[in-house]
């Protein structure tokens, strides 16, 4: 099952991907999580990426293409992959096709999760994250114990880029650089629309109804 989860920041890609990865037993590959881990560990890659991430700008394509190429070569991707947050530009999408052709695992479906802008801002302003990649929301999806991750018990934090001015910049980057990929994948016949509003469970079952066709 070879899947891209597409959609603006805050659409619920990470939230859905975590559950989908468990349900279908395929790895969840989030370029945002990979970049944040590098920033935390202070790697060269993290040092290069941090300035862009803090401003809500996209990290340069060559950096992301390198990351994704290495990650998809790992053995856990044999049964499939769930990409979250990649591709975000046309050069990234072209590079992905080339990489997938070489490894013989072509993309089967791109799920475009749609949520209105104002709702995205509300979601991101109230988002609380865990370093394990789980994301929560103070109102919409609170953890069982305040400020503690249900999955791993670590303390939750708010991302530096989940501030309103940076959120607006991320939404602008999305519209300018990423949204054109909707047509790109529509033309390839790979795009499926998902209504991202409503309960997390409802969105999950809508996605499973689609993905069950690719099992
Ligand atoms: P993305 O990975 O697309 O940026 P997340 O999965 O991190 O988005 O979700 C953004 C925020 O919205 C999180 O705080 C999450 O708990 C919340 N959220 C996710 N899905 C829903 C939903 N269907 N309804 C309300 N809030 C949601
Ligand atoms: P979101 O909640 O916006 O979906 P992500 O966790 O996917 O956030 O990404 C956080 C930041 O990491 C982005 O604002 C961007 O700076 C960087 N980033 C992640 N994935 C990519 C990508 N494919 N191309 C360029 N930059 C990326
Ligand atoms: Zn956790």
Tens digit of each residue's pLDDT (9 = 90 or more) over 163-214 = 999 999 999 999 999 999 999 999 999 999 999 999 999 999 999 999 999 9
Residue 111: is its pLDDT beyond 90?
yes
pLDDT of residue 139: 94
pLDDT of residue 10: 97
Give me the mean pLDDT over the 103-112 stretch.
Answer: 96
At 145, the pLDDT band (50, 70, 90 cuts) reads very high
User: Which residues have a catalytic role annotated?
Assistant: 13, 88, 127, 159, 170
Q: What is the mean pLDDT of the chain?
A: 96
Please state the pTM of the whole predicted model. Answer: 0.96
Sequence-distant (6+) residues with CB within 8 A of 118 are none
pLDDT of residue 162: 96
pLDDT of residue 188: 97
Q: Is 170 in the pocket of ligand 2 (CB under 6 A)?
A: yes
CB 73 within 8 A of CB 103: yes
Residue 215: is its pLDDT beyond 90?
no
* Sign of CA pseudo-dihedral 54, 19, 132, 77: negative
Residue with tokens 């109102």: 139
Give me the mean pLDDT over the 73-86 stretch.
Answer: 96
Q: Which numbered ligand comes closest to the C-alpha of 15? A: 1
At 92, the pLDDT band (50, 70, 90 cuts) reads very high
Q: How confident is the model over 120-134, as pLDDT tens digits?
A: 999 999 999 998 889
pLDDT of residue 182: 98
pLDDT of residue 52: 97
Give me the mean pLDDT over the 5-25 stretch.
Answer: 97
Interval between CA 134 and ligand 3 midpoint (Å) = 6
* Residues within 6 Å of ligand 1 by CB: 7, 9-15, 123, 126-127, 135-137, 140-141, 200, 203
pLDDT of residue 125: 96
pLDDT of residue 133: 86
């Amino acid at each position: 099952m070879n899947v891209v989860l597409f959609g603006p920041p805050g659409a619920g890609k990470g939230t859905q991907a975590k559950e989908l990865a468990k349900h279908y037993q395929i790895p969840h590959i989030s370029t945002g999580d990979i970049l944040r881990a590098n920033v935390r560990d202070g790697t060269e890659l993290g040092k290069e990426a941090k300035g862009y991430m803090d401003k809500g700008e996209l990290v340069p394509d060559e950096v992301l293409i390198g990351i994704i190429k290495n990650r998809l070569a790992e053995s856990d991707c044999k049964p499939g992959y769930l990409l979250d947050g990649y591709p975000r530009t046309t050069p990234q999408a072209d590079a992905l096709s080339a990489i997938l052709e070489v490894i013989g695992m072509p993309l089967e479906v791109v799920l475009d999760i749609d949520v209105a802008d104002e709702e995205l801002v509300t979601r991101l302003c109230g988002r609380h994250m865990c370093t394990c990649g789980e994301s929560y929301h103070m109102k919409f999806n609170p953890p069982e114990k305040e400020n503690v991750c249900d999955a791993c018990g670590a303390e939750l934090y708010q991302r530096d880029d989940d501030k309103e001015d940076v959120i607006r910049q991320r939404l602008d980057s999305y519209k300018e650089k990423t949204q054109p990929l909707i047509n790109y994948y529509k033309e390839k016949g790979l795009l499926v629309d998902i209504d991202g509003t409503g309960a997390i469970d409802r969105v999950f079952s809508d996605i499973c109804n689609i993905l069950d066709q690719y099992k």
